[in-house]
C-alpha cells in the first residue's frame, strides 16, 4: 500500500502544480484582457476626440469659405455698380460738357 500511497501523493503534487500553473495562466490572461479592454477604450476615446476636432475644423473652414465667398460676390457686385456709376457719370459729364459748349457757342 505504500506504493499506491506514494503514487497518490506524487499525483496530487503534480495536480497541485498543474492547478497552480493553470490558475496563474488564467490570471495572466484576465490581466491581458483587462489591459486590452482599457487600451481599446482609450483608443475609442482618442478616435472620438479626433473626429470631434476634425468636424469642428471642417465647420470653421466652411464658415470661413462661405464668408470669403460672400465677400468676393459682394465686391464683384460693388465693382459692377461702381462701373455703371462711373460710366453713367462719364456720360453725364460728356453731356454736361456738350451742353456747356453749345451754350458757349450760342453766346458767341
| 3-state helix vs strand vs coil in the chain, percent to 5 | 100, 0, 0
Burial classification of residue 16, based on how many CB atoms lie within 10 Å of its CB (0-12 exposed, 13-18 middle, 19 or more buried): exposed
Residue 69 reports pLDDT greater than 60: yes
pTM, entire model: 0.47
Residue 101 reports pLDDT greater than 70: no
- Residues 52-61: tens digit of each pLDDT: 999 999 999 9
Separation between Cα atoms, residue 43 and residue 36, nearest integer Å: 10
Three-state DSSP state, 108: coil
Amino acid at each position: 500500500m505504500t506504493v499506491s500511497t506514494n503514487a497518490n501523493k506524487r499525483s496530487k503534487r503534480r495536480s497541485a502544480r498543474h492547478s497552480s500553473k493553470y490558475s496563474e495562466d488564467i490570471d495572466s490572461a484576465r490581466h491581458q484582457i483587462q489591459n486590452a479592454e482599457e487600451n481599446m477604450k482609450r483608443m475609442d476615446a482618442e478616435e472620438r476626440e479626433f473626429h470631434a476636432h476634425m468636424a469642428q475644423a471642417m465647420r470653421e473652414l466652411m464658415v470661413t469659405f462661405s464668408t470669403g465667398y460672400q465677400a468676393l460676390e459682394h465686391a464683384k457686385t460693388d465693382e459692377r455698380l461702381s462701373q455703371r456709376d462711373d460710366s453713367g457719370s462719364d456720360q453725364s459729364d460728356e453731356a454736361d460738357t456738350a451742353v456747356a459748349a453749345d451754350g458757349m457757342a450760342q453766346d458767341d
